[in-house]
């Protein structure tokens, strides 16, 4: 298949395919007229790359998976180098989750502190509340 068909079937652009080719992730064969041609194995490589990128992998992190497929393995993650990338990514995600938990705990503590400082009578009004209500009413009037 030609580059346009491969791009369409892979859900990407010809520019992206040329970029992958320049990075050594995709290899085009050439016709006598110089046109790039690809096969189903190339589509499979692209699907692997796109799936990993959807999961947050950087383009270079997909290389071991592509190499594994090129080596004839049934799946891009059935090689030790791919497993190592998975392990690094899981560790990275665990670190990010811990950071988010810490931020969430801080924000939760700030919320509790702020709520505890509220007077127990009617809720205090501030200038921003009045401004927000005025803007909201103005927006409703435009509809």
CATH number at residue 63: 1.10.1660.10
Answer whether residue 122 is part of any domain.
no
Is 32 part of any domain?
Answer: yes
pLDDT of 17 strictly over 80: yes
Task: Identify any residues that bridge with 36 across adjacent strands, giving them in sequence order.
Answer: 30
Is the CB of residue 80 less than 8 Å from the CB of residue 70?
no
Read off the pLDDT of residues 39-53 as tens digits, 9 standing for 90 and up: 999 999 999 999 999
- Give pLDDT, residue 61: 95
Q: Is residue 62 part of a domain?
A: yes
Number of domains within the chain: 1
The answer as to whether 142 is a domain residue is: no
Buried b (16+ CB within 10 A) or exposed e, 13-49: eeebbeebeeeebbebeeeeeeebebeeebeebbebb
**In this structure, is residue 31 part of a structural domain?**
yes
Q: Is the pTM of this model over 0.75?
A: no
User: Cα 97 to chain center, whole Å?
Assistant: 16
Is residue 143 domain-resident?
no
Residue 133's SS3 state is helix
- For 61, the domain range is 3-103
Q: Is residue 7 part of a domain?
A: yes
Q: How confident is the model at residue 82 (pLDDT cuts 50, 70, 90)?
A: very high
Place of tokens 């594994």: 68
Is 139 a member of any domain? no
Bridge partner list, 2? 37
């Amino acid at each position: 298949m030609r580059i346009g068909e491969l791009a369409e079937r892979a859900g990407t652009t010809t520019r992206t395919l040329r970029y992958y080719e320049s990075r050594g992730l995709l290899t085009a064969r050439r016709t006598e007229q110089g046109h790039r041609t690809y096969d189903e194995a190339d589509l499979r490589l692209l699907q692997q790359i796109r799936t990993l990128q959807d999961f947050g992998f950087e383009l270079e992190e997909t290389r071991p998976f592509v190499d594994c497929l090129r080596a004839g393995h049934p799946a891009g993650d059935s090689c030790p180098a791919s497993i190592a990338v998975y392990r690094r990514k899981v560790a990275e995600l665990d670190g990010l989750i811990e950071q988010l938990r810490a931020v969430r705990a801080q924000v939760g503590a700030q919320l509790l502190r702020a709520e505890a400082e509220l007077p127990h009578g009617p809720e205090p009004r501030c200038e921003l509340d009045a401004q927000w209500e005025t803007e909201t009413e103005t927006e409703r009037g435009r509809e």
